[in-house]
A and B are shown apart, each in its own frame.
Chain A
C-alpha cells in the first residue's frame, strides 16, 4: 500500500464549480500535512497547510481527519488558473521527510 494515495483524476469542472479532492495516508504516526500545487512541467509549490481544525485561504479549504487518516482540499468558485495537479504531502513523526502523493489533476474549463 502506498504511503500517500490520491485519485489521479483528471477532474474536469466548469468555471465557478466547487471541487473537492481527498488524500489518504497509511502511517498513523504522521505529524504534518500539506497541499502543494504543480503546474504542467513546473516545480511544485506549497499551497497550504492542513490542520485538524481546518484551514481556509480564500477559495481554498483544507481539512484533516486523523481518525480516518485522510486529508481533503476544497476549491470553491473554480477559476481557469486553478488548473494544475494538486499534491498531498505528509511528514511522518521524527523525520523531516516530505512524502508526496501522486497528485490529482484538475482541469477547469470555460
Chain B
C-alpha cells in the first residue's frame, strides 16, 4: 500500500502520559500536514512540515504539542502530559511540493484515534 500510513490507529493513554503519533507520507511526497478532528467537528489545522523544516505551526497549541519530520523516517506528532481534551482523531496528510495550493489534493491517512482516560 503506497498510501499515507499512520500508526497507531488507536491509542489509549492516561492523563499525564505522552502520546506519539507517526505518519509515513506517500512515496515521493515531501510535505506533511497534521490535523485534529474532535467529535462532531471539522478538521483543525495544526502544523505543516517538510523534511527537517516546520513551515507553518500556527495551529499547534503553545504547550505540550510538538511535531517533526526528520530527514529519515516518519513524521511524529508528540503530545506530552496528555489531558482528556486531547482525545480526538489526528489525521496526517501528505503532498508533493506545492501541489496543495495547485490542486487542493491532500492525501490523508486513516487517522490515529487518541483516547485519554
**CB-based contact A46/B106 at 8 Å:** yes
Smallest beta-carbon distance B63→chain A, Å: 21
Report yes or no: A100 in contact with B56, Cβ–Cβ below 8 A. Answer: no
**B33 in contact with A98 (CB, 8 Å):** yes
- Which residues on A sit within 8 Å (CB–CB) of B43? 44, 87, 100
Q: How far is the CA of A101 from the CA of B37 in the complex (A)?
A: 11
CA distance A4 to B43 in the complex (A): 11
Complex formed: what's the CA distance from A96 to B35 in Å? 14
Complex CA–CA separation, A58 to B56 (angstroms): 36
| B-side interface residues, number (CB < 8 Å) | 25
Residues in A whose Cβ lies below 8 Å from that of B58: 97
Whether a CB of chain B sits under 8 angstroms from the CB of A95 is: yes
Cα–Cα distance between A91 and B33 once the two chains are bound (Å) = 14
8 Å CB contact of A43 from B101, B104, B108: B108
Please tell me the size bucket of the interface on A: 20 to 34
Task: Pick from B33, B35, B43, B108 the residue with the most CB of A within 10 Å.
Answer: B43
Instruction: Give the residue among B40, B45, B101, B108 with the most A Cβ atoms within 10 A.
Output: B101
Mostly helix, strand, loop or mixed at chain B's interface?
mixed
Q: Which of A52-107 contact B (CB under 8 A)?
A: 87, 89, 91, 95-103
Check if A91 sits within 8 Å of B104, measured CB to CB: yes
Task: For A6, list chain B residues within 8 Å (CB).
Answer: 42
Inter-chain contact B56/A96, CB cutoff 8 Å? yes
Mostly, the A contact residues are strand
Q: Does B25 contact A (CB under 8 A)?
A: no
**Complex interface bits, B95-117 against A, C-beta within 8 A gives 1, otherwise 0:** 00010110111101111000000
Smallest CB gap from B111: residue in A: A43
CB distance from B40 to the nearest CB of A (A): 8
A97 pairs with B104, CB closer than 8 A: no
A43–B91 touching, CB < 8 Å:
yes
Q: Which residues of B pack against A, CB within 8 Å?
A: 31, 33, 35, 40-45, 48, 55-56, 58, 91, 98, 100-101, 103-106, 108-111
A-B complex: 6 closest residue pairs judged by Cβ atoms = A102-B42, A43-B108, A34-B104, A100-B43, A46-B105, A100-B42
What are 24 inter-chain pairs, A to B, with CB distance below 8 A? A32-B104, A33-B104, A34-B104, A43-B110, A43-B111, A44-B108, A46-B104, A46-B105, A49-B104, A87-B43, A91-B100, A96-B48, A96-B56, A96-B98, A97-B45, A97-B48, A97-B56, A97-B58, A98-B33, A98-B106, A100-B42, A100-B44, A100-B45, A101-B42
